[in-house]
Amino acid sequence: MPGGTLRNVGICGFYERMRGGKPYICRAESSGFRQQSFRARLMGIHRPRVATMISHVFLGTGDFDRAFAFYSKVMAELGLRLKFCDADKPWAGWVAETAPRPIFVIGAPFDGKPSAPGNGQMVGLLAPSREAVRRSYTAALALGGICEGEPGLRPHYHPDYYGAYFRDTDGNKLCVCCHDPQANYPR
């Protein structure tokens, strides 16, 4: 196939295509791949499409300073960068180096009521490697997080699922996982 190999990544018609040895995500349509506009191609602008359905995730906290210290370390271990922090609001958000979204946000609840974790709710964060899963889990526990499942393979999800589960200092449940046996995701 011109432009590289194609494989379904299982996200509502989105496909991963290899170009120049690097994967990028695009949406398959009945007429073939969506093409860049003629003007963009003439100008040499290349914007790979990224398959995402999440804009942001917001977790409430009752102690912003404590939560910020906790998540700053956990996110650093996952290779995520701080996008913004406003202690007066208070809120802060992190993103991957290569994408503007999704944003992981912590802050005081908008309604001014106390923050409370929900039963059955969990945020799953993608790690670039199994080692990053272990490092972020270790950092979370060192900063007061509570273990909900040590790092390890979870073959009941799929053969390469490697994850760890913990609660943050406000009781919110998180999972950090890696799906790839080589565990080398670009950030």
Q: Distance between CA atoms of 156 and 11, rounded to whole angstroms?
A: 20
Distance CA 35, CA 26 (A): 10
- On the question of pLDDT at 186 being above 60, the answer is no
Is the pLDDT score of 33 beyond 50? no
End-to-end CA distance of the chain: 27
Averaging pLDDT over each range in 40-49, 89-98, 178-187, which range is the top one? 89-98
Q: Is the dihedral of CA 125, 130, 135, 137 positive or negative?
A: positive
Percentage of the chain with pLDDT > 70?
69
pLDDT tens readout for residues 72-114: 999 999 999 999 999 999 999 999 998 889 999 999 999 999 9
Q: Which residues pair with 22 in a beta bridge?
A: 19
pLDDT at 11 over 60: no
The rounded distance, in Å, linking the Cα atoms of 153 and 130 is: 9
Cβ atoms of 124 and 166 within 8 Å: the answer is no
**pLDDT tens digits, residue range 126-155?**
999 999 999 999 999 999 999 999 999 999
Pick the more confident residue, 8 or 103. Answer: 103
Whether domain 56-178 has CATH 3.10.180.10:
yes
Q: Provide CATH 3.10.180.10 ranges for the chain.
A: 56-178
CB atoms within 10 A of CB 94: 22
